[in-house]
Amino acid sequence: QVQLAESGGGLVQAGDSLGLSCDASGRTISSFPMGWFRQAPGKEREFVAGISLSGGSTYYVDSVKGRFTISRDNAKNTVYLQMNSLKPEDTAVYYCAAYRWKLGGSWSKADYWGKGTLVTVSL
């Protein structure tokens, strides 16, 4: 298994930017597609962004397209989520995730999770 640890969350104002990092240990992330999820108060956890093994392909939920960017540095065993033009509705606990390859897999079904980091966007 791989252990994941998020960092970079905090309190920002609407329109601000914030960058999140996910540091992996135990396994190299080069073996895993990686992603970010978030869970807002009173809501279910949702997929936010995903990135392929080498970073060649990325996927985003419609609500963050054009504002968020997922990237990875396999040499540093780190995944990033750059969040720009933040909105109050982006307020959530953000989780880093790793995926085992599997037939019929989807971005919404991750296998390994970090503990989360809280992002709060004020009005």
Q: Please report the pLDDT score of residue 61 as a whole number.
A: 98
Could you tell me which residues are beta bridge partners of residue 68? 83
Q: Please report the pLDDT score of residue 79 as a whole number.
A: 98
Angle at the Cα of 1 (from 103 to 10), degrees rounded to 5?
Answer: 100
pLDDT in tens, the chain (123 residues): 899 999 999 999 999 999 999 999 999 999 999 999 999 999 999 999 999 998 999 999 999 999 999 999 999 999 999 999 999 999 999 999 999 988 788 999 999 999 999 999 999
Residue 101 makes CB contacts below 8 A (sequence gap 6+) with: 33
Angle at the Cα of 28 (from 25 to 30), degrees rounded to 5?
Answer: 145
Q: Please report the pLDDT score of residue 92 as a whole number.
A: 98
